Amino acid sequence: MLTEDARKFSLIFIIWNEMRNFKITIREIAILTLFTTIFLFLACSPIEKKPLLERGWKQQLEMQLPLLGHRNWIMIVDKAFPMQSTQGVNMLYAEEELLNVLKYTLERIDENNHIRPIIFTDKELGFINQELVPGIEDYKFSLNQVIGKLNVRVIPHDSVFIKIDKASKLFKTLVIKTNQVIPYSSVFIELDCDYWSKEKEKQLRQLM
């Protein structure tokens, strides 16, 4: 027969063991409840991939613009533009048409008081006709609506890349790749100082 003390010890052990099992059960219930809540939240929340992509490139552009300045480049390019191995080139992807990205970029540049754009377009674009690329005239017209009043320079495609390659060895170049599938439609933006001009620089050198 068990003594009184032995019975008490046995009872305490049984109670402690049950309490331990009860605690484990509570923890398991809590974990199950947590995972159920997360699952229900994800199941009921619509996943909008496109807006996230849009916010991604726009936010990154706005974050980088205050850091960019004279001699930096921003390139708004078509979908076939290759990924660069040059360390001075940063690439973003915008799941949008080129002209929409270009317009947004120019608007953000205009909001910054330290930079202004010098626009470069491919000379080849002017020679592409409707027979080669159906709808090209509509694109040319829309492009002119966006950049027609700005400082635009038209040079051969390879010449643009020579300039950018030279600049990217010392200065950062930002590339925003778009969904555009029209050849030679890329637009290249060289940033210049908005509060200082070449004329003032020339006058300064003469004074020196």
pLDDT of residue 194: 95
pLDDT of residue 27: 59
Q: CA quadruple 151, 143, 179, 157: dihedral positive or negative?
A: negative
Q: Using an 8 Å Cβ cutoff, are 142 and 99 in contact?
A: yes
Burial class (CB within 10 angstroms; exposed 0-12, middle 13-18, buried 19+) of 87: exposed
Q: What's the rounded Cα separation, in Å, for the pair 67 and 77?
A: 21
Residue 62, both tokens: 């706005």
pLDDT of residue 161: 84
Residue 204, both tokens: 């300064």
Question: Closest by alpha carbon to 71, among 192, 155, 175, 189?
Answer: 192
Question: Closest by alpha carbon to 98, among 117, 114, 116, 74?
Answer: 74
- Domain segments of the chain as ranges: 1-45, 49-194
CATH superfamily, with its number, for domain 49-194: RbsD-like domain (3.40.1650.10)
The count of residues in the chain is 208
Q: SS in 3 state form for the chain?
A: CCCHHHHHHHHHHHHHHHHHHHHHHHHHHHHHHHHHHHHHHHHHCCCCHHHHHHHHHHHHHHHHCCCCCCCCEEEEECCCCCCCCCCCEEEEECCCCHHHHHHHHHHHHHHCCCEEEEEEEEHHHHHCCCCCCCCHHHHHHHHHHHHCCCCEEEECHHHHHHHHHHHHCCCCEEEEECCCCCCCCCEEEEEEECCCCHHHHHHHHHHC
Low-confidence ranges of the chain (pLDDT < 70): 1-55
pLDDT of residue 88: 87
